[in-house]
Structure formats: C-alpha cells, structure tokens
Amino acid sequence: MSSFVCYQALLQIDHYEAQEINSYETSGKIELLLSDLENMETGQRGYVITGNANFLEPYNTALPDVSTTFQALQSLTASSSVEQQNLSEMKPLIDAKIADLQNSISLRTNEGFAAAQADVLTDKGKQIMDSIRAIVANMQAEESKLLAARMAHLTQVNATAEQVVLWGSLIGILFSILVNFIIYKFVIGEIVEKPFLDKEKKASFYARSLIEASLDPLITISKEGKMTDVNEAMVKMTGVPRDKLIGTDFLHYFTDPQKAREGYEKVFSQGFVIDYPLTIQSATGKNVDVLFNAALYKDEKGDVIGVFAAARDYTLTEQANEALRSLDRAKDEFVSIASHQLRTPLTALKGYTGMLLDEDPGPINDKQREYLGEIKSANDRMIELITALLNVSRVDLGVFTVDPEMINLKDAAESVLKELESNSTAKKLHMATDFEKNLPLLNADPKIIRMIFQNLLSNAVKYTPAEGSISLSMRKDNSAILISVADTGYGIPEDVQKKIFTKMFRADNARTKDPNGTGLGLYIIKATIEQTGGKIWFESKENKGSTFYVSIPVEGMKKKEGSKRLE
Amino acid sequence: MKKILIVDDEAPILNGISDKFTHEGFAVVKAIDGQDGLDKALLEHPDFILLDNLMPNASGFYFLENLRKDAWGKSARVIMWSNSHDSTTIAKAKELGALDFMIKSDWEYRDIVKKVNAALEV
C-alpha cells in the first residue's frame, strides 16, 4: 500500500516538476517575444531617422522569431486557459504592431522622411506596444501564480508520501518497516529526491541563465528596500560588484532616490509599474536613463517577498527622439525659408499683374484682360498652396501660436461672407445666416476662427451647384458654441467620408468640380480645432449636400506659445 | 503731395510698388536696405514709410530701432511688410511702433495704397 502511494507520489512529482520547468520556459519565451518586438522597433526607428537600410538588421532578424516564439508560447501554455486568453488578445496586437512598423518603413522608402515621421508621430505604435506590455505583465503574473501553485503541490505531494510511509511503518511488521525503510531510503531518497533535486537544479540553472543573459539590469528587492539579487547587467550599469550591491538599499543607486522610492511604493499599491523613468547613478560617474518595469514578487503561498524589477536603458531611444526633434526643427526652418523665398517672386508677379489689370500703364483689351486674369488666378493658387503647406508643417509639428482675444463671431463670419460674395453671386447661390441673439463674445485666436469660416464657407460655395443654398448658423449649445455650415451641394460619397479629413485627400466628385484644390484645408482646420480644444464633424449625402459642424468650448481657446503663426 | 519712403531689397518689388504709389499721386523715395532707408528717412522726413524686414546689410528692425532714436523719427508712421513673419517678428515690429505688419503676398498693391491712405487720414 505504502509502495503504491509512493509510486503515485513519484508520478505526481514528475508531473509538477515538468510544469515547473514549463513555467520557467514560458516566462523566458514571454521576455523573448517582447525583446524581439523591441528589437524590431529599434530597427524601424534607425531606418526612419537615417534612411540607411543597415539599420533594419535587428528588424529583419527579429521578424521571423516573433512568430516562432508566439507558437512556442501557445504550445507551452496549452493547459492554461488564462494564458491562452492572454495570447489570443495579444495576437491581433502583434499583427497590428508589425503592420504599423512595416507601414512606416515603407513610407520612409517610398515617400521619404516626412511621411514616415508623421506616421510615427501618430503615437499608435507606442499605444500598441503599451497594450502588449500590459498583456506581458499579466502573463508573467499568471506564470508566477502558476509556479507558486505548482511548488505548493509539490510540497504537499512530498508530505503525503512521507506520511504514508510513516504510518505504514508504525503498523507493519519489522519486515515491512525494513521494506518501507528501503523504499524510503533508496526509492524516495535515491530515485525520487535525487532526480527531483537534479531537475530543480536544472530549472534553477535555466532560470539563472535567462536572468544573466538579459542585457537589461534585473533586480529583486526585499520589502525593506534592500536588493536581494542582481544580474550582471546591473553590476555593469552601476559599476558596483554584485556582493556589494546585494543587501544594500536600492535607492542609493539613483540620482533621484525620492522618485525611486515613489516608484517602488507604486509597485506595492498597484502591483506593478510600467516604463517608470529613473536615472541609475554609476560608481564610474556615468548616469544612465532607464525605464523600470516591475512587479510584486511572491512566495509559493502567495505572500509578497518583495519586488522584481527590470530596467531598460533608453539613452539610445532618447538620442533617437532628440534627433527626430532636431530634424523637426530643421524641417520647420526649411519650410519657413522656402516659403519666404517662393513668395518673393510670386509677390512681384501679383503686383505687376494687378497693376496691368488696373490699367496703370494704359488701357488693355479684353483678350489681354482674360490672359492676365489667368496669370493672376494661377499665381494666387500658388500662394495659397505655399500657405497651406506652411500651415500643415506647423500643425503637424504643433509649433503654431494660439493668441486668443475676445472676438465677435458674427463679425468674423460676416467678413468672410463678404469676401465670398462675388463668387456666390456669380453662381446665384442663396446665402442665409442664422445667428443666435446675444451670442457671447468668444476668447479665441481671430486667425484660426477666420480660417475655419473661410475654409468651410469657401468649400460650400465651391461644391454647391448654381442656384443652390448655403446657410451658416451659430448658437450656444450647453458649454460650447456650435457653428454649422449647411449646403445643398454635391455631397461627400459615403465610401470616402472617413477619409475626408486626411491630408491631401480629395473625393473624386470634388476633384471633378474643382481640379485646383489642395486637399489640405479640412486637414488643417481639423488639426487646429482639435489642438485648441474644439471638435469638427459632418453629415453628408451625395448629391443632397453636406453640413459641417464646429464646436468650440465657451471658455474659448487657451493661449499657446509657439514659434510660428498660422496663416 | 504726400511723400512715401519704400524700403525693400528686392528690385522687382521695390520698383513695382513704387510705380503704383507714383501712379496714385505720391512722391516716392526708394531705398534698398535698412541703412539706406534710415539715411533717406532722416533727410527727407517722408509722410509714410513702407518697410521690408529681411534685407542684407541692415534689416528693417535695424532701421526701426535707429529711427525711433531720432526726435522726428520716433513718431514717424511705418507699416512693415514682409513675407517672413513668425510671431516674434510681428511682436517686435509692434513693439517698435509699426502701425501694422502685412504679409506681402496676401496684398494687392491697390489695397496697400488704400491702407496707407487710410493711415494718413488718421
């Protein structure tokens, strides 16, 4: 009987040992997957900044590994429904991340730095990575939980086996005592304990190898804030030997100990921290900016022992970001200078054409007037395009100034309507206004407000057929001023409505009616409105008309210091 | 006859806008940079000054800073016009007493004349 129970115990021990090793392997693979994705990101950034394909090497190396590692994880965690669920949530994120990286690389290749940079600046890549990191943290926490449960089972199985042997010994004859003794001493001792210890050592060695292989500093910290274990990367980064690090207060190794303490306390209050920025102070005098990812570290009973933390050197990331910022500044400077240089000859053209049309030097005939009119119109279009490109650059970089003052929206709207009068009259459009009485003054940048009216109303005039109607209304709607411009125009086809605010996008029907538009106006005003706290949206039906709505908070726009004004 | 000083380093623009003001009945004094403009302003005491900013040798700001040191020049009427116009430039122009800052490429010459005439009537 006792032999049978011992045999059962042996089988269970084997089972739990296998699971324990499985946990270590799973943790290792999770780290590997994250590291592969980060390597791909590093490659993509290098390539976007430099355009040099050599920088894509880490990207190309890691790409096939991601799928292999993911499949391995699926297989390793087949018995855990929680981990399978985590993986199924992670899969679309990984696919999205790879698609995002591929997109910016292909933009860099096909459309150049500016297009790739605009794509990177959308921040969607970072958001996806944050979501992946959150799932990774969940998976690691689950593995720690599973490991603790498996260790607890092992202890229990060992205890059961021992108890059975003991009771068998007490009630059996000397022979059975002897047999039990032999079973205990030679079977459990030699066959069970030794292989178990061997496997435990193996698992421990495996885990240690993973820890030491990490290029990121890894540390465990006790509840009292003392470091209980570190890897070689931590030794290198601090410049302090391992035996000197262990047992000392971890706060000593940061330039801002108070911030380090707050991060540590945050781990206890919320269970983890993600990308917590700190600077490690090296004994050699070199400081390293790192991002800390840390989670609670528990024993097999689930009691908190301390914190497990991994630090990532992001000096290179910062350098890449600074390089990007510097390129942004250079780009803005270039666009400003180019704009100035291009405008100078256009100004001369505008001036002379105007004087000829004014007949300053003498009368002109109808044909001459027609040709000069064409020159003037082409020249004005060129000036408009330069202005739009300059504004796009300022909006994209967020460097434009917002200089609010109390303005009367009715006056601003009427001034733009007056400018459009000749065009609307020529098309016999019916123009109507509906302004709420006692519309409050709005604290807003007059340039931006004018740009909004100018854009929406001129679009309505351009894209409404002769004898159609356009109405502009303004009213206070709860805590916002609502401006709406409705027309009975060509409308926006349903299948392209989602793209209407995209840079340089023009719907086919708009392109047919007005081949000269830039496709930048709506993009600029949407970005400007949103960056100043407002909203813009529309309703449209093809061949029926469109209504554009702009909502601006009644408290107006906040002042924003920028280097450049919008035009 | 009202006298206007026009300071601009771009010959096609300087000559074009000068012709327009001449056509509209102004006596025009032309200058090709900030120093040339300053010398002519202090000598001729024009009724109005149309001033570019970015010019070689001496900028529009150089012109304005020095003009304001002169007893006559400190109240001289100036409009600055330029195609280079970040917010600091505009703020500085206002600080140095420019009545307005105009973006050259946005304006028809006839409207500039109207603007100057309106400013002269004030």
ipTM of the complex: 0.88
In a domain, A559, yes or no: no
Whether pLDDT at A10 is above 60: no
How many domains would you assign to chain A? 4
End-of-domain residue from the set A178, A213, A248 = A213
In a domain, A567, yes or no: no
In a domain, A474, yes or no: yes
- Which one of B17, B84, B86 has the shortest CB-CB distance to A351? B17
- Which one of A336, A343, A352 has the shortest CB-CB distance to B105? A343
Q: Is A376 on the interface with B (CB under 8 A)?
A: no
Single-letter amino acid code for the residue at A155: T
Pick among A344, A355, A375 to test the B interface (most B CBs inside 10 A):
A344
| Residues A358 and A464 grouped into a single domain | no
pLDDT, average across residues A200-225? 82
pLDDT, average across residues A468-479? 93
Whether pLDDT at B84 is above 80: no
Asked if residues A564 and A399 have their Cβ atoms less than 8 Å apart, the reply is yes
How many domains would you assign to chain B? 1
In a domain, A54, yes or no: yes
Q: Decide: residue A132, CB within 10 A, 0-12 exposed, 13-18 middle, 19+ buried.
A: buried
Asked if residues B17 and B113 have their Cβ atoms less than 8 Å apart, the reply is no
Please state, in angstroms and rounded to a whole number, the distance separating the CA atoms of residues A396 and A387.
Answer: 14
In a domain, A399, yes or no: no
Of the spans A31-40, A44-53, A185-194, which averages the highest pLDDT?
A31-40
Residues 6+ apart with CB under 8 A from A298: A144, A148, A304, A305
Single-letter amino acid code for the residue at A503: K
Q: In terms of pLDDT, which residue wins out, B52 or A236?
A: B52
Instruction: Please report residues of B whose CB lies closer than 8 A to that of A391.
Output: none
pLDDT, average across residues A270-290? 87
End-of-domain residue from the set A213, A228, A261 = A213
Please state, in angstroms and rounded to a whole number, the distance separating the CA atoms of residues A481 and A240.
Answer: 62
Please state, in angstroms and rounded to a whole number, the distance separating the CA atoms of residues A40 and A38.
Answer: 5
> What pLDDT is attached to residue B4?
98
CB-based contact B90 A565, cutoff 8 Å: yes
What residues does B5 pair with on adjacent strands?
B29, B49
| Residue B62 domain boundaries | 3-121
Residues 34-53 of B with CB under 8 A from A: none
Please state, in angstroms and rounded to a whole number, the distance separating the CA atoms of residues A523 and A525.
Answer: 6
- Which one of A348, A350, A564 has the shortest CB-CB distance to B86? A564
SS3 content of chain B, % helix, strand, coil (to 5): 50, 20, 30
A270 pLDDT tier (thresholds 50, 70, 90): confident
Instruction: Please report residues of B whose CB lies closer than 8 A to that of A564.
Output: 86-87
| Residues A284 and A189 grouped into a single domain | no
End-of-domain residue from the set A290, A313, A336 = A313
| Residues A236 and A195 grouped into a single domain | no
| Residues A12 and A149 grouped into a single domain | yes
> What pLDDT is attached to residue A188?
53
| Residues A422 and A387 grouped into a single domain | no
| Residues A180 and A97 grouped into a single domain | yes
A3 pLDDT tier (thresholds 50, 70, 90): very low
> What pLDDT is attached to residue A548?
97
Q: Is B11 on the interface with A (CB under 8 A)?
A: no
Q: In terms of pLDDT, which residue wins out, A547 or A175?
A: A547
| Residues A161 and A224 grouped into a single domain | no
| Residues A91 and A74 grouped into a single domain | yes
CB-based contact B12 A345, cutoff 8 Å: yes
Whether pLDDT at A2 is above 60: no
pLDDT, average across residues A97-111? 86
Q: Indicate the helix (H) or strand (E) that contains B98.
A: none
Instruction: Please report residues of A whose CB lies closer than 8 A to that of B108.
Output: 350-351, 354
B7 Ramachandran zone, left/alpha/beta (phi>0; psi -120 to 50):
beta
> What pLDDT is attached to residue A304?
86
Asked if residues A420 and A433 have their Cβ atoms less than 8 Å apart, the reply is no
In a domain, A434, yes or no: yes
CATH code assigned at A475 = 3.30.565.10
CB-based contact A347 B105, cutoff 8 Å: yes
A212 pLDDT tier (thresholds 50, 70, 90): confident
Residue matched to tokens 């291009």: A342
pLDDT digits (tens, 9 = 90+) for A368-425: 999 999 999 899 889 888 888 888 888 888 778 888 999 999 999 999 999 899 999 9
| Residues A126 and A11 grouped into a single domain | yes
CATH code assigned at A252 = 3.30.450.20
Residue A223 vs residues A271, A326, A438, B99: alpha-carbon distances, Å? 13, 43, 64, 69
Q: Is B103 on the interface with A (CB under 8 A)?
A: yes
CATH code assigned at B81 = 3.40.50.2300
A182 pLDDT tier (thresholds 50, 70, 90): low
pTM to 2 decimals? Answer: 0.52
pLDDT, average across residues A1-8? 48
> What pLDDT is attached to residue A175?
54
Whether pLDDT at B64 is above 80: yes
| Residue A220 domain boundaries | 214-313
pLDDT, average across residues A320-328? 83
Residue B92 vs residues A181, A421, B87: alpha-carbon distances, Å? 99, 35, 9
> What pLDDT is attached to residue A314?
82
Backbone angles phi, psi at A360, to 5 degrees: -60, -45
pLDDT digits (tens, 9 = 90+) for B44-54: 999 999 999 99
Whether pLDDT at A7 is above 60: no
Q: Which residue of B has its CA nearest to A560?
A: B87
CB-based contact A344 B109, cutoff 8 Å: no
Whether pLDDT at A318 is above 60: yes
Whether pLDDT at B38 is above 90: yes
Q: Kindly state the percentage of chain A with pLDDT values over 70.
A: 86
> What pLDDT is attached to residue A152?
66
pLDDT, average across residues A551-566? 83
| Residues A225 and A301 grouped into a single domain | yes
A281 pLDDT tier (thresholds 50, 70, 90): confident
**In this structure, how many other beta carbons lie within 10 angstroms of the beta carbon of residue A234?**
24
Comparing CA positions, the residue from A129, A175, A112, A153 lying closest to residue A19 is A153
What residues does A545 pair with on adjacent strands?
A541
Pick among B52, B81, B88, B105 to test the A interface (most A CBs inside 10 A):
B105
